[in-house]
């Protein structure tokens, strides 16, 4: 028998944790009436052709029949044959747990630099045309509300403003910047935008069309070695530049005219603070991850996420995850749904790696010096906290640096009193680590659990805590560093040591994302084995993973592993 059919996760009487939100109208319209069915779980799931479906796991009130119902974007129920055609496999909700070992990719954790970019135009910075704007004060900017008060929340470090008149280029008609003829026969357009008082900028492209062979880059005019490619032809948010000014350059191949060039910048994200400028604001109980050398290898899976939306620029936390496909390097990433709630936000993502101190007593690096993955991500699946586990499962569009860890995971239900660890970026600042225990005592502030045990782990911290910006961070088992959840929220803080935090349970999430992490073509993995009744997979087969992990930890402490340029 194909073992994929046996990878079924127990949901531990989910009927008692049916969500309390309004019953979905689509279910009622399809004949699944509130008195006849209980919604145990709801989620979103992407198909191979990019369609986003909504799924519901239902159970009869008597605790008997269970059924999964899927709707397309038009609220039409999908048949079993249609689901097969869309590559949406049946969900396996009951059976033995699965464990996937962490994967340490070859190489050192440096940013990729296969193609070194540099500015093209020999025009001195002081001679370039600039468009200058004044940033509004931070206090005048709106604050985005969370889904509820208990969500740990994101850290807001920038605002977004719409331009009254978009800065546009249409062929030779460059009302923004200017065209230059290069000595080698090519043409290049250059423009600099300055926002007075900003400490960093991101530009939103409402239109971006370039002819074949053309390139568009962005960089800080006072640091031209910080060049980032801007993807085309997809409009959206460009890469961050850590300065009050950003320069754009578009270079055309020899013989290609500017007639088909269309560039329009309609919004600007401006940073009014950087994490390393507000270190004193983080609670004093937070522990730098470098102070726990035995966790440094695992910590290399955790990144600081940066996203943009109409309400501002936001920081969160996420982690790379290993799959069961031998030699696979697909950059799957797990975070919270209130961090990344759909494709529109996933497409804006940047991930900052190794944003952490090299030693326990060392100063952290500037964020603009660490490796970075730009280009956004694909939103594969997710669920909200009110009717799911508050997860977002993504696939980065660009490969992260070599040498990072892809974290392992386990769907074995974790017991109360189990010891756990979280690795995170509180307030978007350098990486911290916290140690706690799974509890079931509830919140002293509310007098009850904030989220049901059937879908969330409740954690009380003994060392460290979490803060806004920590949201989405992975929760690891202590004995074996395997992901069992991601941070939703809670009232825990350095001053609130009796308040717990809540993490969406990965064992409940797993059936939804199993088709990516454990595809049927490789259900037994490489050199798979069985321990303690759990099916084990090895996503990689290094000669001695323990020795490699120890070596990487030592090198990180010694500062030997370079951060490299951003990629």
Q: What share of the chain has pLDDT > 70, as a percent?
A: 79
Summarize pLDDT for 156-196 with one digit per residue, the tens.
Answer: 999 999 988 898 999 988 888 889 888 888 899 999 999 99
Residue length of the chain: 567
| Sequence-ordered strand ranges (E) for 150-301 | 155-170, 173-174, 178-181, 187-196, 200-209, 215-220, 223-229, 236-237, 245-252, 262-271, 287-288
Q: Which residue has the higher pLDDT, 436 or 95?
A: 436
Q: Which residue has the higher pLDDT, 422 or 64?
A: 422
List of domains in the chain:
3-95 (3.10.450), 125-143+157-275 (2.60.120)
Mean pLDDT of 242-252: 90
Question: In which band, very low, low, confident or very high, does the pLDDT at 220 lie, cut at 50, 70 and 90?
Answer: confident
pLDDT at 6: 30
Phi, psi of 474 (to 5 degrees): -75, 145
CA dist., res. 211 & res. 213, Å (int):
6
Question: In which band, very low, low, confident or very high, does the pLDDT at 229 lie, cut at 50, 70 and 90?
Answer: confident
Summarize pLDDT for 285-327 with one digit per residue, the tens.
Answer: 999 999 999 999 999 999 999 999 989 999 999 999 999 988 8
Mean pLDDT of 354-370: 89
Summarize pLDDT for 461-509 with one digit per residue, the tens.
Answer: 999 999 999 999 999 999 999 999 999 999 999 999 999 999 999 999 9
Residue 134 has pLDDT above 70, yes or no: yes
Could you tell me the pTM of the whole model? 0.86
Summarize pLDDT for 483-495 with one digit per residue, the tens.
Answer: 999 999 999 999 9
User: Per 3-state DSSP, what percentage of the chain is helix, strand, and coil (rounded to 5)?
Assistant: 15, 35, 50
pLDDT at 521: 38
Distance of CA 147 to the CA centre of its chain: 18
């Amino acid at each position: 028998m194909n073992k994929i059919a046996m990878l079924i996760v127990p949901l531990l009487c989910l009927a008692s944790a049916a969500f309390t939100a309004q019953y979905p109208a689509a279910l009622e319209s399809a004949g699944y009436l509130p008195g006849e069915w209980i919604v145990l779980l709801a989620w979103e799931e992407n198909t191979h052709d990019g369609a986003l479906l909504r799924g519901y796991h239902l159970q009869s009130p008597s605790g008997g029949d269970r059924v999964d119902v899927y709707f397309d974007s038009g609220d039409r129920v999908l048949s079993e044959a249609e689901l097969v055609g869309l590559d949406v496999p049946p969900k396996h909700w009951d059976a033995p747990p699965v464990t996937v070992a962490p994967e340490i990719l070859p190489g050192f954790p440096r940013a990729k630099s296969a193609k070194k970019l540099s500015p093209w135009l020999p025009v001195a910075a002081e001679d370039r045309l600039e468009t200058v704007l004044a940033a509004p004060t931070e206090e005048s900017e709106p604050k985005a509300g969370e889904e509820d008060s208990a969500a740990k929340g994101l850290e807001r470090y920038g605002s977004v403003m719409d331009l009254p008149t978009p800065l546009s280029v249409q062929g030779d008609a460059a009302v923004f910047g200017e065209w230059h003829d290069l000595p080698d026969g090519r043409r290049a357009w250059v423009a600099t935008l300055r926002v007075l008082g900003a400490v960093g900028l991101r530009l939103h492209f409402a239109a971006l069309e370039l002819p074949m062979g053309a390139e568009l880059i962005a960089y800080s005019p006072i640091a031209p070695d910080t060049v980032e490619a801007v993807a085309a032809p997809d409009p959206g948010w460009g890469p961050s530049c850590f300065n009050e000014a950003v320069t754009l350059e578009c270079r055309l191949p020899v013989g290609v005219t500017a007639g088909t060039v269309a560039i329009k910048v309609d919004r600007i994200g401006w940073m009014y603070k950087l994490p390393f400028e507000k270190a004193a604001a983080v609670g004093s109980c937070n522990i730098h991850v470098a102070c726990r050398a035995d966790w440094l290898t695992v910590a290399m899976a955790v990144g600081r996420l940066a996203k943009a939306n109409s309400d501002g620029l936001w920081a969160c936390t996420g982690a790379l995850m290993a799959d069961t496909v031998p030699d696979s390097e697909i950059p799957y990433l797990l975070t919270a749904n209130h961090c990344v709630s759909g494709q529109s936000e996933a497409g804006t993502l940047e991930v900052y790696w190794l944003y952490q101190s090299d030693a326990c007593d060392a100063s952290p690096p500037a964020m603009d010096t660490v490796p970075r993955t730009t280009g956004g991500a694909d939103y594969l699946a997710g669920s909200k906290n009110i009717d799911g586990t508050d997860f977002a499962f993504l696939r980065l569009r660009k490969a992260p640096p070599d040498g990072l860890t892809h974290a392992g995971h386990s769907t074995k239900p974790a017991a109360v009193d189990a010891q756990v660890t979280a690795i995170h970026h509180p307030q978007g600042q350098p990486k911290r680590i916290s140690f706690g225990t799974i509890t079931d005592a509830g919140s002293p502030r509310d007098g009850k659990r904030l989220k049901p045990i059937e879908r969330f782990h409740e954690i009380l911290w003994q060392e460290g805590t979490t803060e806004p910006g920590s949201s989405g961070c992975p929760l690891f088992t202590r004995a074996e560093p395997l992901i069992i959840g991601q941070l939703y929220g809670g009232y825990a803080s350095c001053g609130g040591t009796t308040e717990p935090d809540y993490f969406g349970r990965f064992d409940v999430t797993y059936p939804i994302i199993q088709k990516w992490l454990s595809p049927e073509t490789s259900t037994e993995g490489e050199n798979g084995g069985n321990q303690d009744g759990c099916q084990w997979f090895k996503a990689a087969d290094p000669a001695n993973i323990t020795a490699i992990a120890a070596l990487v930890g030592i090198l990180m402490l010694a500062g030997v592993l370079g951060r490299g340029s951003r990629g």
